[in-house]
Structure 1
Amino acid sequence: MNSGDATVVLVSEATQEFQRLAMFFRQNPTDLRVGQAVGWFHWLRHQALPDGQDQADMHGAILALTPCFLSGIEPLPEPLLPLLADEADPMAIDFLQQALSSTDTGLLTATVHVWKRMVEATPDGHPDQAGRLSNLGGALQTRFEHTGAMADLNETVIVGYQAVQATPDGHPDQAGHLSNLGGALQTRFRRTGDTADLNEAVTVGHQAVQATPDGDPNQAMYLSNLGGALQTRFEHTGAMADLNKAVTVGHQAVQATPDGHPGRAGRLSNLGWTLQARFEHTGAMADLNKAVTVGHQAVQATPDGDPNQAMYLSNLGEALQARFRRTSDAVDFDAAVTVFGDAWQVRSAPPTQRIEAGWALVRLVSGTDPVRATEVWQGVVEFLPQVVPRQLGRGDQQYELGRFSGLAGQAAAAVLSHPGLDERERAVRALAVVETGQGVLLSQALDTRSELTDLEHHAPDLADKYVRLRDLLDQPTPTTPPEHSAAEGDIPFSAIEASGEGGVEQARAREARLAQDRHRLVGDFDAVLEQIRAVEGFATFGLPPSAQELLKEAGEGPVVVVTTTPARCDALLLTATGVSHLELPDLTWNTLVEKVNAFHQAKAQARVTASADEGGDPQQVLTGILGWLWDVAAGPVLDALGFDTEPAGDEWPRVWWSPGGLLGQLPLHAAGHHSDPPGTRRTVMDCVVSSYTPTVRALRYAREQAARHEHGTDTREGALVVAMPTTPGQGALPFVRVEADKVRGHVPNAVVLTEVDTAPGSTVADALAVPTRAKVLEHLPKATIAHFACHGYTDPGDPSQSRLLLHDHAEDPLTVAALGAVRLDRAQLAYLSACSTASITQAELLDEAIHVASAFQLAGFPHVVGTLWEVNDQVSATVADLFYTHLRGAAGQAIDPTRAAHALHAAVRAMRDGTDLQDTLPGWDRIAAPLLWAPYLHTGA
């Protein structure tokens, strides 16, 4: 609004209209838009009236506009903002107090927004500036504790430092602001492992205690926070002086906290944790007994429903369990089972704490009460999706899931050992557990990608809103390197150190703005979902399919879900008749670990050259692994399915493999004894045509995408070929041009993007066809077939940053995260002739199938050809030529992407057997060189 000539509000007509509006507002005080108009009218009257006559309107403007200020309604008179913040202060503090004891992320987000407005409206030098910054930190810290969003934690540190800097020495709040900052730095260390943060946390913790006047009611809190920082530094450095000091200040904190004080339970629990830590290093039973005692006191001091109750119970359970291990006293064991069970049932606790409590419980009772263990396991897995809400950035989601790596497999193993269920029920429940607990991020993405066609027909406006919000949420977000987090301490607010370098601080401020936008988008997205599900026929829109719907996916061929854990290894066989279970007793965890390590070592040692006449040691290692895989896993599975011999005729059976966890690192599709005589080979590729799928639900999605093209899409148009014979910063791939030419021969109308030839005579047209991320993303939506011949990179620390290496890969990479926002309607086949496009190396995320091949499938390609490791580019050119030849079926026929699995199978078998391929690596014993042909795989429909 613009004040313009403020005197117009003094004319009689305007005054009469204002009085009617003011009357309406008094009768409808929740209509804030009317309140905004009333407030502006008061403000303009204040501006127009002479001094001495304007104070009533000033007061009226503040009263009317304060609720608007709290709610974020804009615009408001800028000169009034500091006064509105002062008026809103008590109400904002009420919001904060509610949020600090709530698990409602909506309330937490609203409180964050309120305190951001409070801080922005507070001028420098205002007596409440430091306190408001600290309160904003408290709101951000609390939201971080419930969501794990690093953007919140980063911003908390920034405002924590600002609060300290805005507080003069000797101010009564100085100690509190220092202590909050210390807690924040300690939290960042737990997440990132930066020792500078930990040392600074101890330093400012000491400063907080030293700045505390005698008799200060918050002294105990500052002591407890310092104790937490000292214990954390001991755990990192092993310095006993830090641990002993932590015990001392922990006792002081408890002694300074009266009975009934809301902070007493947390300080008792922290002291117990510290005492137990000292017992673990000294063996002093007095410390452990005291840890149990104060742990009980902490639990007794905690009201039911307190969000921290689960943490205090779990801390007590750890102490009881430690004492049981030392004394073998069954009373302690039973008590530990009870308190972990109670912690698991605290409904107000954050999902991560409930999962940790449930996991601890099943570890205790698996041997004595398998029925209860199974029930808890199933509940724990159901919580996994709650750990990664949409408002979290991709890096935060991966960090949270990485904390619970392997959980789904262990839960499935418990279900399959359940003594009270029949065989079929065990198999069905185990499948449900695996589908829920593996590929969690993939399932979240699939929630937003189905059923749109019908919605666009019945409710196009809702469909448009849904697509817009979905696409905004799926945009890549900044990532933060993850580290394992330790147990929480008594930290009222937490923060991360703000760098003195402007560039870093600006980046973190931008990250905070993105996080705020993301929270708003999630609220809008959930509201649209609710509206869609209210439309007749769309009640289950965006919800996962039922177990019975998943079983239908075996109609075109069996789906084999393999689970591997230290306790047992099993295969779940989905066939047209239902789901059954096959135990794999010869597949053991320890041997699997050995084979995976040997596999990775062999890949690293392999140096494939065209002049070699034998495979060499790495080839022999892989040959042995493939034979072992057949003996312990693939052979028994195919035998149970009745596919243990080479089929007669041209119609080969298909099998979809879904090997979760560690087994997914190995080429199950190539398992077998390939040196057996032809016609009697005990190998997967001589018995069935293999495909992969991360989950059964992902297979369902791929088939939905394929069904869009059942009436035919002309694959002669819309093909895209991306070729990188040279790549900035990478070795040359001399056969990539050959591969591109061969592919273009099969799809002559393809758009070809290729790296510029640096030889004399290159043209401007060459430069315009350089494969950049932007160029590729421009052409992909028009592509039915996309063929990439280039280097690939698997990021060992963050699989979402794995990428295809294009011309601008150093500045603007085409990553898995970038592909997550792509939607393709014409896509049928993606051929990724690049290194390791179907591989993931981060152990904590093996269950998530985050790699380039899955990203292309999620983008809309129902058929994707990828690789498990680095491929020889001469072999790649030949395999690609053979693949497209077989994709036609017969000479003169059009390319048929639905034949992708069969075409790849035929091409790889030909490469292995060397049939009519003497011009490709002549002299090789192909069967003895599986590194050449075994990496190729098909994923999808």
Structure 2
Amino acid sequence: MGHPSRGSSLNNLSHDLQKRFEQTGHLEDLDESIQLSREALPLHPLGHVDCGFSLGILSGGLRNRFQQTGHLEDLDESIQLNRKALLLRPMGHVDRSSLLHNLGVGLWIRFEQAGHLEDLDESIRLNREALLLCPVGHPHRGASLGNLSLGLHVSFEQKGHLEDHDESIQLSREALLLHPIGHPARGFSLNNLSRGLRKRFEQTGHLEDLDESIQLNRDAILLCAMGHPDRGSSLNNLSLGLSIRFELTGHQEDLTECMSVSKQAAEDIYSPVSKCLLAVQNWVNFTWCHDLTQSNLDAYITGLSLISRSLSVMPMISLQYQHLSSVIKLPEFVSDGASQAIQLGQLTLAVEIIEQGRGLLWSELRGLRTPMDRLQALDPSLVNRDWFGHSLSDKRRLLHAQGDIIDRIHKVPGFETFLGRKSFGELKSAAKHGPVILVNCSWYRSDVLIILEQNSPVLISLVEDFYDQVETLVEQLTEARSLIKASPKRYNHVLRATLKDLWDLVVSPVVTKLQELHIPEMSRIFWCPTSILSTLPLHAAGPISHDNKKFLPDLYISSYTPTLTALIDAFNTTKLSSQLPRLLVAGQHDENLPRTKEEIHEVLQYQNHIPTTSVEGPAATKKALEQALVDHEWLHIASHGTLVPKEPFASYFSLAEKSHFTLLDIIRLNLPNADFAFLSACHTAEQSPDSVYDEVIHLAAAMQFCGFRSVVGTMWEMADVDGPEMAKDFYSRLLSDENVSRCNEVGAQARALSEAIKKMRARKGVTLERWVNFVHIGA
């Protein structure tokens, strides 16, 4: 410390570690390089002769790490540091060309992520300037040629200017000549030229271009040993070329090699997950086009494992959600994979796939609460080695070893599915209190799987265009809801038509099958819809008769569950003690919710039946609510509920002092005594239109996650007038003298809501959307 050469030594070691990472792909080298660069930077402030070098070294490390982890803040910081460094290298400076090169690469990568053409255009301009500074014989000329070639190739794909494409291929050939066998950049140059030739084949149909492209890719793979950071890209490019040539020639050897290469690319644990998922998508598309159903199913299963793996290296739930939103079309991917299993007659596997792919974020969060005590008692070495308690960097480095440890854990009795796909044998216990109706909504085929506790799944195949019809229903209902205040009659008409279509398309066949299975009327059923269907009110489908008065609630008591595991957990945590629950009533006093006081008054009418605490008005702060929840099993909250577009974890209940009780606040709670929550607010069981539907991220699901095994919520905006009436009818059923001793039994709240909705429907002037709004979730 304090030595005048310390900064230079740190930078030199950082530089060497980055070079070793580029050859080996070992992430610990990259992490250490960045750490050393950050330590060196304050030792070389502005004005120091080595300031530009320090900025450049750190920028390069962050850019490389972004390509491995996908953390956009690393890439943004890299570009910012590069711009600062470039200002210190004016025209004529010996290092200007390398900084132009690095900034151009960073901007091109950011263009790939965000799609902003100004980043691409600036990248090309910088690379042209860099090339001018690297004449024939310059050691960096090959890199400049390759980067400019790549930028022009992408520009052609975006804008269609043929001159960009021709120049790109010409530059790629020149770069390859400068990167002979043994040169570390030869693989990049081979891939670059291969990509350009394949694209030119697509334009001209000249098979010799495609043949050369494939051979160049094969050569590139030979230079990328297992663990090399470019191996996944090379495999992906070869897979694409082989699939195109097979389409043209029908040569079986191309098909066989394409399948093998796709599988290798998807399963390369050293490649960035984004590259692996791209390989899975190629694998899926190719096998689907050629009716290779079993291989197609294998691709989906591999993809689901990759998606789960990708979440484990992301430190924040917001990043995980962003990843799921952008990396792959998740709802379609899960449902399409299940449809392949159904096509092969593997119904239990279809159930397992849907469960694995739905609610991934909830599953990841539950994994953080996985009890390890029993595993430690059976095999302490698997827990004491702390494979799962390391930092984020350690987790990435131990990924391969972690797989070995998980394999060992799977051999311990009772842990066969630890952190993996749960077996149908476990999942069917979700149906212990009534059949679970899993509706798989896929563009390829759509089906219902009725899950019974003692039997295999029962299949109902739906109409061929089911997905298209559901998509139309969602669009029509969403549009009508956006205009509800201007045209309430139109909305009511669209909603009625939607409920009728839902009955005809899916609910009527389900009811017919339930009756064949001798499921008694007015018993409980549990809906678990997938993809876009999860936004529609299946629980209220109908009418079921010509008099237009009877709907599904007149036949069965419907509940929803986001996943089978969530329902199983809800049943397993149900409080069956004879002790009465303690009810917390919370609500804000707001002039825009004039009936809230009346609603709270109605709930408090039953404080002589069960222990009740009220936190309302100015006292109903976020802090007061969180503290009180610890000591109460039940919650009734009357408040504003608000969705935040594109930020589902920011959705919130409004409380006193203008505080927000957000979805993220809720999932941070751990309430072991929680049992039942009535969320008397708008949008509490609604996902925002831009959500990843199969993640089921809404306020009610968050309540269930933090411990409430039974929740009443709302599908959309709630009429203020319904608060007091619903509370009165609900609690008069649940806490009546004859029912209060059984008020915390499984199904008690669902039955109470069913009765309250029947009374609401019977009242004059109650529109369809008001009673359809209320839903029950959980046990």
TM-score (norm 2): 0.86
Task: Report if the CA contact (8 A) 1:265-1:297 is conserved.
Answer: no
Three-state SS of the structure 1 residue aligned to 2:271 is: coil
Tell me: CA distance 1:329–1:84, structure 2 relative to 1, closer, same or farther (3 Å).
same
Deviation per residue, 1:613-666 (Å, 9 max, x gap): xx7332222222212222222222233233799957xxx422221111111011
Task: Report if the CA contact (8 A) 1:584-1:632 is conserved.
Answer: no
Equivalent residue number for residue 359 of structure 2: 439
Partner Cα separation in structure 2 for residue 85 and residue 433 of structure 1: 52
Please say if 1:668 is aligned against 2:546.
no
Equivalent position to 1:851, from 698, 717, 741: 698
Three-state SS of the structure 1 residue aligned to 2:181 is: coil
Three-state SS of the structure 1 residue aligned to 2:526 is: strand
Equivalent residue number for residue 335 of structure 2: 409
Three-state SS of the structure 2 residue aligned to 1:865 is: strand
Equivalent position to 2:496, from 623, 646, 651: 623
Following superposition, the deviation at residue 562 of structure 1 comes to 1.6
Please say if 1:788 is aligned against 2:637.
yes
Following superposition, the deviation at residue 372 of structure 1 comes to 2.0
Equivalent position to 2:666, from 819, 826, 833: 819
Please say if 1:910 is aligned against 2:759.
yes
Three-state SS of the structure 1 residue aligned to 2:775 is: strand
Following superposition, the deviation at residue 568 of structure 1 comes to 0.6
Following superposition, the deviation at residue 232 of structure 1 comes to 3.7
Please say if 1:635 is aligned against 2:508.
yes
Please say if 1:745 is aligned against 2:664.
no
Equivalent position to 1:187, from 109, 115, 118: 109
Three-state SS of the structure 2 residue aligned to 1:209 is: helix
Query: Which consecutive residues of structure 2, in runs of 5 or more, have no partner in the other structure?
Result: none
Following superposition, the deviation at residue 104 of structure 1 comes to 5.2
Task: Report if the CA contact (8 A) 2:89-2:95 is conserved.
Answer: yes
Following superposition, the deviation at residue 849 of structure 1 comes to 1.0
Three-state SS of the structure 1 residue aligned to 2:692 is: helix
Three-state SS of the structure 1 residue aligned to 2:757 is: helix
Three-state SS of the structure 2 residue aligned to 1:655 is: strand
Q: Residue type matched to 1:704 in 2?
A: N
Q: Residue type matched to 2:527 in 1?
A: W
Deviation per residue, 1:359-397 (Å, 9 max, x gap): 222322234322222222222222220121243433332
Q: Residue type matched to 1:153 in 2?
A: L
Greater displacement, 367-376 / 194-203: 194-203
Tell me: CA distance 1:641–1:94, structure 2 relative to 1, closer, same or farther (3 Å).
farther
Three-state SS of the structure 2 residue aligned to 1:673 is: coil
Task: Report if the CA contact (8 A) 1:450-1:542 is conserved.
Answer: no
Three-state SS of the structure 2 residue aligned to 1:444 is: helix
Following superposition, the deviation at residue 90 of structure 1 comes to 5.0
Partner Cα separation in structure 2 for residue 599 and residue 134 of structure 1: 53
Task: Please identify the structure whose Cα radius of gyration is greater.
Answer: 1
Equivalent residue number for residue 628 of structure 2: 779
Please say if 1:114 is aligned against 2:36.
yes
Q: Residue type matched to 2:586 in 1?
A: V
Equivalent residue number for residue 204 of structure 1: 126
Equivalent residues in 2 for 1:542-561 (5 A)? 543=419, 545-561=422-438
Following superposition, the deviation at residue 444 of structure 1 comes to 0.5
Following superposition, the deviation at residue 933 of structure 1 comes to 0.9
Equivalent residue number for residue 368 of structure 1: 291
Q: Residue type matched to 1:689 in 2?
A: I
Task: Report if the CA contact (8 A) 1:795-1:802 is conserved.
Answer: yes
Equivalent residue number for residue 382 of structure 1: 305
Task: Report if the CA contact (8 A) 1:260-1:301 is conserved.
Answer: no
Equivalent residue number for residue 589 of structure 1: 467
Following superposition, the deviation at residue 693 of structure 1 comes to 1.3
Tell me: CA distance 1:646–1:357, structure 2 relative to 1, closer, same or farther (3 Å).
closer
Task: Report if the CA contact (8 A) 1:148-1:396 is conserved.
Answer: no
Partner Cα separation in structure 2 for residue 881 and residue 247 of structure 1: 75
Task: Report if the CA contact (8 A) 1:787-1:831 is conserved.
Answer: yes
Partner Cα separation in structure 2 for residue 362 and residue 616 of structure 1: 45
Tell me: CA distance 1:79–1:691, structure 2 relative to 1, closer, same or farther (3 Å).
same
Equivalent residue number for residue 769 of structure 2: 931
Equivalent residue number for residue 523 of structure 2: 653
Tell me: CA distance 1:311–1:390, structure 2 relative to 1, closer, same or farther (3 Å).
closer
Equivalent residue number for residue 455 of structure 2: 578
Tell me: CA distance 1:872–1:890, structure 2 relative to 1, closer, same or farther (3 Å).
same
Equivalent residue number for residue 562 of structure 2: 694
Equivalent residue number for residue 730 of structure 2: 883
**Superposition RMSD on alpha carbons, in Å?**
4.0
Equivalent residue number for residue 872 of structure 1: 719
Three-state SS of the structure 2 residue aligned to 1:782 is: coil
Three-state SS of the structure 1 residue aligned to 2:525 is: strand
Tell me: CA distance 1:335–1:542, structure 2 relative to 1, closer, same or farther (3 Å).
closer
Following superposition, the deviation at residue 411 of structure 1 comes to 0.8
Tell me: CA distance 1:579–1:358, structure 2 relative to 1, closer, same or farther (3 Å).
same
Task: Report if the CA contact (8 A) 2:324-2:692 is conserved.
Answer: yes
Percent identity reads 25
Tell me: CA distance 1:453–1:739, structure 2 relative to 1, closer, same or farther (3 Å).
farther
Greater displacement, 366-375 / 91-100: 91-100
Task: Report if the CA contact (8 A) 2:585-2:600 is conserved.
Answer: no
Partner Cα separation in structure 1 for residue 29 and residue 525 of structure 2: 48
Following superposition, the deviation at residue 569 of structure 1 comes to 0.7
Equivalent position to 1:802, from 651, 654, 672: 651
Tell me: CA distance 1:429–1:104, structure 2 relative to 1, closer, same or farther (3 Å).
farther
Equivalent position to 1:131, from 43, 53, 67: 53
Please say if 1:705 is aligned against 2:573.
yes
Equivalent residues in 2 for 1:79-228 (5 A)? 79-80=2-3, 83-88=5-10, 91-102=13-24, 105=27, 108-122=30-44, 124-167=46-89, 169-228=91-150
Equivalent residues in 2 for 1:386-405 (5 A)? 386-402=309-325, 403-404=327-328, 405=330
Deviation per residue, 1:16-61 (Å, 9 max, x gap): xxxxxxxxxxxxxxxxxxxxxxxxxxxxxxxxxxxxxxxxxxxxxx
Deviation per residue, 1:838-889 (Å, 9 max, x gap): 2223456111111111111111211111121222221233223222222225
Three-state SS of the structure 2 residue aligned to 1:720 is: strand
Deviation per residue, 1:520-551 (Å, 9 max, x gap): 79999999x989989x9997797355442222
Three-state SS of the structure 2 residue aligned to 1:824 is: coil
Q: Residue type matched to 2:770 in 1?
A: L
Three-state SS of the structure 1 residue aligned to 2:2 is: helix
Partner Cα separation in structure 2 for residue 778 and residue 798 of structure 1: 26
Q: Residue type matched to 1:905 in 2?
A: S
Relative contact order, CA 8 A, sep 6+: which one is greater? 1
Tell me: CA distance 1:125–1:581, structure 2 relative to 1, closer, same or farther (3 Å).
farther
Tell me: CA distance 1:621–1:775, structure 2 relative to 1, closer, same or farther (3 Å).
same
Equivalent residue number for residue 584 of structure 2: 719
Task: Report if the CA contact (8 A) 1:721-1:750 is conserved.
Answer: no
Partner Cα separation in structure 1 for residue 253 and residue 419 of structure 2: 45
Partner Cα separation in structure 2 for residue 558 and residue 854 of structure 1: 20
Partner Cα separation in structure 2 for residue 827 and residue 780 of structure 1: 8
Three-state SS of the structure 2 residue aligned to 1:835 is: coil
Please say if 1:599 is aligned against 2:485.
no
Tell me: CA distance 1:537–1:589, structure 2 relative to 1, closer, same or farther (3 Å).
closer
Three-state SS of the structure 1 residue aligned to 2:432 is: helix
Partner Cα separation in structure 1 for residue 82 and residue 263 of structure 2: 37
Greater displacement, 88-97 / 829-838: 88-97
Greater displacement, 271-280 / 215-224: 271-280
TM-score (norm 1): 0.73
Task: Report if the CA contact (8 A) 2:544-2:552 is conserved.
Answer: no
Q: Residue type matched to 1:317 in 2?
A: S
Q: Residue type matched to 2:699 in 1?
A: V
Q: Residue type matched to 1:568 in 2?
A: R
Following superposition, the deviation at residue 233 of structure 1 comes to 4.3
Partner Cα separation in structure 2 for residue 890 and residue 663 of structure 1: 40
Task: Report if the CA contact (8 A) 2:75-2:110 is conserved.
Answer: yes
Task: Report if the CA contact (8 A) 1:446-1:701 is conserved.
Answer: no
Partner Cα separation in structure 2 for residue 644 and residue 251 of structure 1: 69
Deviation per residue, 1:748-800 (Å, 9 max, x gap): 76554545xxxxxxxxxx4xx2x444443343333322223233233332322
Q: How many residues align?
A: 761
